[in-house]
Structure 1
Amino acid sequence: MAMLRSTLHMAFMFVTVIPYTLLILLARLLGAKGNVRYGFAQKWLTLSIDAARVLMGIRYQVHGQENLPVGETSPAILLVKHQSTYETFLMPAIMPHPLAYVFKKELLYVPFFGWSIGSLDMIHIDRSQRAKAFAKVVEQGQALLDKGVWVIMFPEGTRIPRGERGIYKTGGTRLAIATGAPVIPIAVTSAKCWPRKAFIKTPGVVDVSIGKPIPSEGRDADELMREVEAWIESEMHRLDPEAYVGQL
């Protein structure tokens, strides 16, 4: 049954991404503003999350939403635990501001999905050009933050198996310090239902816990990331204790 439900969901996403991509591309061709194009993308992502609930029984609950900054142009950099594809779809569906992902340019070549994100106000980087890449992140990140778009990054860089911890890189905290934006740590237990690189998903509840904003002014990037890492990993232990049995 899990195989059938997962197959149906994958088929649903494959079929629906095509018209939404065409809408985004057409909107860009017609000169529509970034928030209009983002709105189409957000609708498809929300639709995919709703389909995951209906077809696969994957639900989510959010804790700490009151910790998000208020105001149309209040800046924020979201630093999120990364366990699966689920949170990449979920974050735009639940956040009150448009989000800009920082991602590797290779994703632009993925049919339909890559074409869509390439037509949105996102930040794609060439990781082979480290200094230039980060300068681009700061320049574009500042411009987006000024417009009320929040930047979202996965500090571990890749999807991490349930119960494990990746290496937290400082790109997000360096960007926060450069722009003066606070960082928002977010823990997500998506691997309970949607493990990394797994085709078959299982029903259950994904917990999303949003921490309080951490100011970046006057901070050291490494020290700030250690604080973010400590909060996220401690929260992961609290939300999903079964995944950490036998660990300190």
Structure 2
Amino acid sequence: MMTLFLSLRAILFYLGYWLSIVWFGTTGIIFFSFLPYSVRSNYILCWNRFSIFWLRCTCGLDVEVFGQENLPSGAYVALSKHQSQWETYFLQYYLAPIAIVLKRELLNLPFFGWGLRLTDPIAIDRGSPKQALKHIQIQGKRHLEQGVSVLIFPEGTRIKPGADSKYARGGANIAVAAGVPVVPIALNAGEYWPAGRFIKFPGKVTVHIGKPISSKDSNSRKITDQAEDWIEKEVAKMSKRDQY
């Protein structure tokens, strides 16, 4: 019975979710594509805000953020835990202005990809790792010089809660090259929005923003190891949801 109830709530969520994608993707590309970055990006981020709001209304999933005071006043590179789609929507508007690193194929999706293009993301080809790394370096530095932070999921893909993963050094490389700090972010969204599952569980996602890690007189390996150690320890301490 509980599974049926949760499924019905998920169906309601996705109805609003997809209708809003069509609306924001279409209106964004028609009316905002020719406008400055700040205007078109803020319009599309209204969809991110709506998605998180609609998720709370339909599936009972809320969020609590700790460590907001740790966000630097200037541009930085955010390295975040990646467990679900949830954090891609939430962090993109919560940390704005910020450019997210994502796979290029997403930009080709109807409506959804149209909206993504308006936020000026750093789109990479995963089939060419060396080229992708070079592209991240160039585009990441460009954004940072313009005062726009960069959001990277160093694990590269969504990782199930409790599973081991390897953190890539691309984000730390950008920070060192640009001379900006790295901000580690821990979260447990995968407990409530599991990757590859239709059902969304009610509860409260915990997001913990760590203190900035200076890139001055440091290197990408040291910074990545420090961020990974902090993130994984914080994630391990986060409470688990009840199983349904």
The corresponding residue for 2:77 is 77
Residues 188-209 of structure 1: CA deviation (Å, up to 9, x unaligned): 1101211111110110010000
Q: Identity of aligned pairs, percent? A: 37
3-state SS in 2 of match to 1:26: helix
Q: 1:20 to 1:222 in 2, by over 3 A?
A: same
The corresponding residue for 1:94 is 94
3-state SS in 2 of match to 1:78: strand
3-state SS in 2 of match to 1:184: strand
The corresponding residue for 1:146 is 145
Quote the Cα distance in structure 1 between the aligned partners of 2:184 and 2:203.
Answer: 23
The corresponding residue for 1:18 is 22
> Residue 241 of structure 1: CA displacement?
6.2
Contact kept in structure 1, 2:77 and 2:175, CA below 8 Å: yes
Quote the Cα distance in structure 2 between the aligned partners of 1:128 and 1:199.
Answer: 28
The corresponding residue for 2:174 is 175
> Residue 242 of structure 1: CA displacement?
7.8
Quote the Cα distance in structure 2 between the aligned partners of 1:192 and 1:127.
Answer: 27
> Residue 28 of structure 1: CA displacement?
4.5
Quote the Cα distance in structure 2 between the aligned partners of 1:167 and 1:46.
Answer: 30
AA partner of residue 58 (structure 1): L
Contact kept in structure 1, 2:86 and 2:193, CA below 8 Å: yes
Contact kept in structure 1, 2:45 and 2:92, CA below 8 Å: yes
Contact kept in structure 2, 1:138 and 1:179, CA below 8 Å: no
In structure 2, the gaps of 5 or more residues are none
The corresponding residue for 2:136 is 137
Which piece of structure 1 moves more, 78-87 or 165-174? Answer: 165-174
Q: 1:200 to 1:144 in 2, by over 3 A?
A: same
3-state SS in 2 of match to 1:187: strand
Quote the Cα distance in structure 1 between the aligned partners of 2:40 and 2:241.
Answer: 40
Contact kept in structure 2, 1:176 and 1:216, CA below 8 Å: yes
TM-score, length of structure 1 as denominator length = 0.91
Pairs aligned (count) = 238
Quote the Cα distance in structure 1 between the aligned partners of 2:126 and 2:160.
Answer: 23
Corresponding position: 1:104 with 2:75: no
AA partner of residue 50 (structure 1): F
1:9 paired residue among 9, 13, 19: 13
Corresponding position: 1:214 with 2:218: no
> What CA RMSD, in Å, does the superposition of the two structures yield over aligned residues?
1.6
Quote the Cα distance in structure 1 between the aligned partners of 2:161 and 2:136.
Answer: 29
In structure 1, the gaps of 5 or more residues are 244-248
